[in-house]
């Protein structure tokens, strides 16, 4: 079994914490520039010097909750538009997370026959789509195993294994899916058997 460890070459938790201030700062700057405001103008609205605004925008300083609310109020946006999305039982957090994915990962939304569908870019290429496909395969595997399970203990173990898969992601992404390998082996074996029969037939005709 081959696993991908840190496929993007960084430690997610450390990077997330280190970059938090920069992410918030980029959002403040983007909204300010969209408004057509200078750092001086924004600073005057919340009693900050242009230099202090610049430090927040550059991520040198990370605004605390109260300051973040002041920035949001001055910019005329939801505070969630500046903060990192929190999605646990929070529909607004989910929406802002989706908006962020639209911007950074080309998330596309379509509606067909009253059903909403999401896709990243073309829905086929790229690391993110590859990971999602592996997730879909893992879900199908869990559903298949649950259908075969005969006891509550077996079902609980299957659900626990699935949770562990999620909690250790992306450690457990396989570069080649085991089911795909087995299916390909079977297909190749059928072809080999068929060719062997053809070869034996030709050998028999030549004698």
Gap between the Cα atoms of 90 and 17, Å rounded = 21
Query: pLDDT tens across 70-111, in order?
Result: 999 999 999 989 998 888 877 888 999 999 999 999 999 999
Which of 67, 84, 101 represents a domain boundary (last residue)?
A: 84
Tell me which residues of the chain have a pLDDT lower than 50: 1-5, 7-8, 175-176
Question: Which pTM does this prediction carry?
Answer: 0.66
- Please count the other Cβ atoms lying within 10 Å of the Cβ belonging to residue 123: 13
User: Among candidates 149, 108, 155, which has minimal Cα distance to 128?
Assistant: 108
In this structure, the answer to whether residues 122 and 62 fall within a common structural domain is no
What are the distances in angstroms from CA 1 to CA 46, 170, 176, 194? 56, 14, 8, 30
In a domain, 206, yes or no: no
In a domain, 205, yes or no: no
CATH number of the CATH domain containing 55? 1.10.260.40
């Amino acid at each position: 079994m081959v696993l991908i460890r840190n496929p993007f070459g960084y430690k997610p938790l450390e990077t997330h914490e280190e970059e938090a201030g920069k992410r918030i700062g980029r959002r403040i700057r983007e909204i300010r520039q969209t408004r057509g405001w200078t750092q001086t103008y924004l600073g005057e609205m919340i009693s900050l010097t242009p230099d202090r605004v610049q430090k927040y925008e550059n991520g040198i300083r990370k605004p605390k909750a109260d300051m973040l609310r002041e920035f949001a109020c001055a910019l005329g946006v939801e505070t969630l538009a500046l903060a990192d999305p929190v999605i646990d039982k929070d529909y607004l957090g989910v929406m802002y997370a989706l908006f962020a994915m639209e911007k950074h990962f080309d998330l596309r939304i379509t509606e067909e026959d009253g059903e909403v569908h999401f896709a990243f870019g073309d829905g086929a290429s790229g690391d993110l789509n590859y990971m999602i496909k592996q997730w879909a395969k893992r879900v199908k595997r869990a559903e298949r195993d649950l259908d075969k399970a005969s006891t509550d203990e077996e079902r609980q173990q299957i659900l626990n294994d699935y949770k562990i898969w999620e909690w250790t992601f992306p450690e457990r992404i396989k570069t080649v899916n085991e089911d795909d390998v087995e299916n390909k082996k079977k297909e190749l074996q059928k072809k080999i058997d068929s060719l062997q029969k053809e070869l034996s037939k030709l050998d028999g005709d030549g004698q």
